[in-house]
Structure 1
Amino acid sequence: MYLDKPLLYYLDELASAKSTPGGGSASALSGAMGAALASMVARLTLGKADYVEVQPEIEALLQETEKLRGRFQELMQEDIEAYGRLSASFKMPRGTPEEVDARSKSIQEQLVEAALVPLEMAECASALMKCCHRIAEIGNAKVLSDVATGALLASSAGAGAAWIVRANLLSMKDQELVEILSSRLSTALDDITAYGQQITGIVGRRA
């Protein structure tokens, strides 16, 4: 687990010639950092006299942002593992018709898994943007720039994950499944865009 090691180690690995960690893992890290900033703003709102009326909602939002942070952290590793399994499938032997069939079947199965992980990242990013939107509305006005930054990191996580999803969908043969996953991705990205625009306006008014 890269999270058990210094940040510099992860960045050096990311910059290396190895295929993992890559864009998917980096997108998940972006999401985790965005969630952490949202949690920070929520915590800086708790216990403040000026925000007594929103304390229960802020507490609920903090629980959600921390849940999302934990999931993004898990997805960092899950993306690496999914790519590893897909890469292994491409390396399977194809000297006989049976081997060719087995290899093709394995590739298609792993393409689905390799698409589902970043798709979940995008959907988590959408959920995080919703939290950031509400925190921007009711959270501590002195630290709105931090929740705005958290939202930008969440948006980046969704956009980066989307590229990974699309890359895997291109090679999938099950077009019905491709359409289903594409629709889920579009919904997540649309929500991210809408929340991002609203957050910009809210922070501009309250800051």
Structure 2
Amino acid sequence: MDLDEYISRLKSSSATPGGGSASAISSIFAASLNSMAALLSTGKPKLSAYENDFKQISEESDNIIEKLKILSNEDEKSFQGIMDALHMDKADKNRRTAIDMAIQNSIGVSWDIARISIHNMENALYLCEHGNRNLITDSITAAYMAYATVHTSLNNIKINLKFQKSVDFKAEELLKLKFFMEAVEFVMEKVKKIESSVIP
């Protein structure tokens, strides 16, 4: 992914890439910061008890980055899928089903981005708690960047649910959102407590 090319596309008059795709990129940066903090926490005698965890976070971050690159593109495609369905002939009896399926696909992509990004938050929190103290602001930054991605993804899910006709699907998704948002805020509150303790 060429960053300059992506920025040029993002700031253009085209609707894609949009917020969902851009938020996935934010979480890529979060994972990159987690990897850096983990790598610079290894080999420290005082942190030796967490050595294996740091190595695992670094490896996980590499995988997260690759997955989010794919999901950033998938978000663009899923939005285009909704647009294609909406532009179907209104007399086409398959149009409503096509719209619902496209929306559900888009929601699925948003969930994938959100779930990966909360794991990014958890890794950042772990590094805040146990990692190299010289890098704690980097770990806090990673947590906030991943947090923004999660919220963007959840907002995209909620806005898409407004146009979803399946009552059962909508009810199930809203319940999942409730519990997921509670988990996200639980992690972020821990980060904020650490932040307030180390930053005047």
Corresponding residue of 2:43: 47
Residue 44 of structure 1, CA deviation: 0.6
2:105 corresponds to 1:110: no
In structure 1, how many angstroms separate the alpha carbons of the residues matched to 2:146 and 2:136?
15
Cα 1:140–1:203 change in 2 (3 A) is farther
Residue 203 of structure 1, CA deviation: 4.2
Corresponding residue of 1:60: 56
Q: How well do the aligned residues superpose, as a CA RMSD in angstroms?
A: 1.6
In structure 1, how many angstroms separate the alpha carbons of the residues matched to 2:182 and 2:148?
13
Gaps of 5+ in 1: none
Q: TM-score, normalised by structure 2?
A: 0.92
Is the 1:37–1:147 Cα contact (8 Å) retained in structure 2? yes
Letter in 1 for 2:184: I
What is the percent sequence identity of the aligned residues?
Answer: 22
Residue 159 of structure 1, CA deviation: 1.0
2:146 corresponds to 1:150: no
The count of corresponding residues between Structure 1 and Structure 2 is 199
2:76 corresponds to 1:84: no
Corresponding residue of 1:9: 5
2:134 corresponds to 1:138: no
Corresponding residue of 1:191: 183
Q: TM-score, normalised by structure 1?
A: 0.89
Corresponding residue of 1:72: 68
Letter in 2 for 1:176: D
Residue 66 of structure 1, CA deviation: 2.5
In structure 2, how many angstroms separate the alpha carbons of the residues matched to 1:102 and 1:12?
36
In structure 2, how many angstroms separate the alpha carbons of the residues matched to 1:188 and 1:39?
25
Q: More displaced, 13-22 or 53-62?
A: 53-62
Cα 1:37–1:49 change in 2 (3 A) is same
Residue 88 of structure 1, CA deviation: 0.9
Residue 206 of structure 1, CA deviation: 5.7
Is the 1:45–1:139 Cα contact (8 Å) retained in structure 2? yes
Residue 204 of structure 1, CA deviation: 4.3
Residue 129 of structure 1, CA deviation: 1.3
In structure 2, how many angstroms separate the alpha carbons of the residues matched to 1:34 and 1:10?
18
2:156 corresponds to 1:160: no
In structure 1, how many angstroms separate the alpha carbons of the residues matched to 2:71 and 2:176?
18
